[in-house]
Copies of this chain bind each other. A is one copy, B any other.
Amino acid sequence: MNPQTGPGRSTRTTLAVIASDADVSMATVSKVLNGRPGVAHETRDRVQSLLLAHGYLKPGSERTVAPLIEIVFNELEDGWSLELLRGSEEVVRENGMSLVVTKSGDRHTPAADWIDGVVKRRPFGVILVLSDVADEQKRRLRRRNIPFVLVDPSGEPAADVPSIGSANWSGGVLATNHLISLGHRDIGVIAGPQDVTNARARLSGFRAAMADAGIPVREELIVPGNYHIDSGLEGGLQLLSNPRPPTAIFATNDLQALGVYEAARSKGIVVPDDLSVVGYDDVHFSAWAGPPLTTIHNPLAEMAAEAARLLIRFRNENQLDSIRRDLATSLVLRKSTAGVRERAER
């Protein structure tokens, strides 16, 4: 099987000969040569070997797959980053591979030079967290047959980009309905970054639930945040300084909820007696906040695990495009919310 041993042969080989040797169609050879999907993994390997041997692929570009799955974060932030790591690491390890962790770029897309590293590392697949990929990056990954999945994508991914998200809009509705059911009408929101899809969806869920209940939204009680603790503190202080402050705050993530806690403490406002707070994400420490935080469970570990499983399935079945899945969210009742009447009775 070493075509180099046939002297002179290289001069007469053509793609047609390779197709014949590999027992595949010309179209398949062309797909492999151009890194297009739609070729079974074993077939691709066979054709690639022939292309390499005949000089159609340069040595070193033989596309050996390393037993690595790469997870790319735009930031390594407490709580949710670790949940995603945990979920993916477990699946990756169970499948005899290793997890590469990369921090890259800004909130939206990996840095331009990141792609060079990926191409060199030739991982089994790539999990992109809270990211989108530029068309050029997409093209380079595809050309090298490196599958990728977006987790919790920050924008609306293109139709040909597989992604795993969660039901953020429903989560926003659940959080708001819970507060409404406790009698709250003056509900504040620390909105997340509105260039991120999940933040827009959570806020939109809030508005939908309020509209459904026929409660007017007080727009001055919706303040911006960036999903970090300090913006929860800042937004919380702003809301609690309102002459008619909210009786409840939907913090839209757990870190911002911790910031709201601190804002309340600094003003001598007791959660939940004077102020109900609902977080979002259900990261580990939210159960241990003071008081334990009522929040929306975001299946972060499961999302990352599912992304890893998708990549593995892609390698086996060579089909990944057009997958788009949202996992369910749910309300986790703890101790940071209470009926609004308790406050009126003060």
Contact = CB atoms under 8 A, between A and B. Distances in A.
Interface of A: 66-68, 70, 76, 78-79, 81-82, 85-86, 89-90, 93, 96, 98-103, 117, 120-121, 229, 258-259, 261-262, 265, 283-285, 288-292
Contact of A78 (B79, B117, B265): B79
A102 B290 CA distance: 32
Contacts of A288: 229, 258-259, 261-262
A340 to B, nearest CB: 22
Contact of A99 (B100, B259, B261, B284): B100
B89 A82 contact: no
A286 to B, nearest CB: 10
A54 to B, nearest CB: 21
A76 B68 contact: no
A277 to B, nearest CB: 11
B290 A265 contact: yes
A285 B258 contact: yes
B99 A93 contact: no
A96 B113 CA distance: 10
Contacts of A284: 78
Contacts of A81: 82
Contact of A98 (B70, B289, B291): B70
A181 to B, nearest CB: 25
A182 to B, nearest CB: 21
Contacts of A68: 68, 100
Nearest to A66: B66
B98 A100 contact: yes
Contacts of A259: 288
Contact of A265 (B82, B90, B100, B291): B291
Contact of A102 (B66, B82, B96, B99): B99
A98 B70 CA distance: 9
A93 B102 contact: yes
Nearest to A284: B78
Contacts of A93: 102-103
B103 A89 contact: yes
B70 A76 contact: no
Contacts of A85: 76, 85, 101
A96 B76 CA distance: 19
Given A100-B98, A290-B289, A78 B78 contact: yes
A58 B76 CA distance: 41
A100 B100 contact: yes
Nearest to A233: B288
